[in-house]
Structure 1
């Protein structure tokens, strides 16, 4: 009997975790990066719960996108300085020899600098590589990617790994990136789970709206 009670309690806790994760996930994708920073500043425990739910989702995939980024950077010089936007538990920084500036909304690791992804504490043209691995959240995408442009050196690399189903129009998205000062170097659209895009910084972002810079919210259904 006690075994059945424990199993029932575990199922209830699992459902509550799932419901809370879906709620937090919706807030992250339908609000701005400033809203997200405020949400987790007021309730840091919510970020830990969100990260647990996120890890459960990604474990179902045949490959973790961060491992693709790790393999890419291991083939490049270790002298390159990297900025990891939305770094989570700093898997990337722990897996490569490069200096990595780790930014996120809550510190899951002592390496993390807590900040809004649209306003990171780096000087202009301070890094060689900027990374967004499942981290392009928020309604102010142009502002966030503009910040990546600001901190990247001219000719620097922007790596984006993002859920495939979020792209409404991949060609329009890539065209919009040119207005933000990036040219497409390579794109891997072969996975049904996530895409990996590589850009090079060609200059500063141009002012004005960037039509086509749209990603669908990544909303999870109740199972």
Structure 2
């Protein structure tokens, strides 16, 4: 083959290579895909023996072990203190908390926790009743706790309890208050007839009440349930009547507590010994 022929043959091969490349580029422009690439092999399945690590729990939504133990200890202290208040006299309770006032805070913290389980609180019912009557009435709140009544009405309120963490609360035995005789219009006992000498508290209320003054008692319903070891309501009404009160109305509609409304009358001087029924202690069960 001559050199001229060899050159022509080389040029033809070069032109064919260019056409072949142009054909491939044209196919890509027309959307014809290139041969599919092989996909990578699937990842191996997780090792079933590998232990799953749980995310740390949210301490705000679920109490930890130490918090649960603290709650149990607090609840235990409350139940112990609650039982003591029901099974000792008012004077003994006053001396007990006077020696260690912090125990009173423990008791009321537990009391507030128990009230969270009540669909309706008797203190709110009493506050509504007071707001419907004269704001000029003077009120004595026996066993006031955190002085809820005084904080929610316009009336002048003497808040009385065994311990005072508030300058407005009078710390004393409820059977012996510093209030003047015939100085208040309404005496309130909201879940506070707790001592074994509870009749002395009611006698003190009679002393400080003005003529025709009002006596309001809210108590746990089971304490007035004879079928469950509680006192006979009729016997209680009769004893309060002999003390010098007449029953104005009663409300047993609530499943948790009863409300009793009395008015001060002349005390029966012929009655020397009143037969008071025993009020069943209200002992909270462990939760």
Give the TM-score band, short-chain normalised.
Answer: over 0.9
Which residue number corresponds to residue 218 of structure 1? 282
Tell me, in whole angstroms, the C-alpha distance in 2 between the residues paired with 1:214 and 1:170.
11
Answer 1 or 2: higher relative contact order, Cα 8 Å, separation at least 6: 1
**Structure 2: gaps of 5 or more residues:** 1-54, 225-230
Q: What is the Cα deviation at residue 2 of structure 1?
A: 8.4
Tell me, in whole angstroms, the C-alpha distance in 2 between the residues paired with 1:85 and 1:205.
24
Q: Give the secondary-structure state (helix, strand or coil) at the position aligned to 2:64.
A: helix
Q: What is the Cα deviation at residue 210 of structure 1?
A: 2.2
Output the aligned Cα RMSD.
1.6
Q: What is the Cα deviation at residue 205 of structure 1?
A: 6.6
| Cα offsets for 1:24-47 (capped at 9, x unmatched) | 001100000001101110010000
**Structure 1: gaps of 5 or more residues:** none
- 1:186-197 matches, cutoff 5 A: 186-197=249-260
Larger Rg: 2
Which residue number corresponds to residue 98 of structure 1? 155
Among candidates 184, 202, 208, match of residue 247 of structure 2: 184
Which residue number corresponds to residue 144 of structure 1? 201
Among candidates 18, 25, 39, match of residue 82 of structure 2: 25
Tell me, in whole angstroms, the C-alpha distance in 1 between the residues paired with 2:149 and 2:267.
27
**Cα pair 2:182 2:209 within 8 Å, conserved:** yes
Aligned length: 222
**Cα pair 2:237 2:247 within 8 Å, conserved:** yes
Tell me, in whole angstroms, the C-alpha distance in 1 between the residues paired with 2:161 and 2:272.
27
Tell me, in whole angstroms, the C-alpha distance in 1 between the residues paired with 2:158 and 2:199.
21
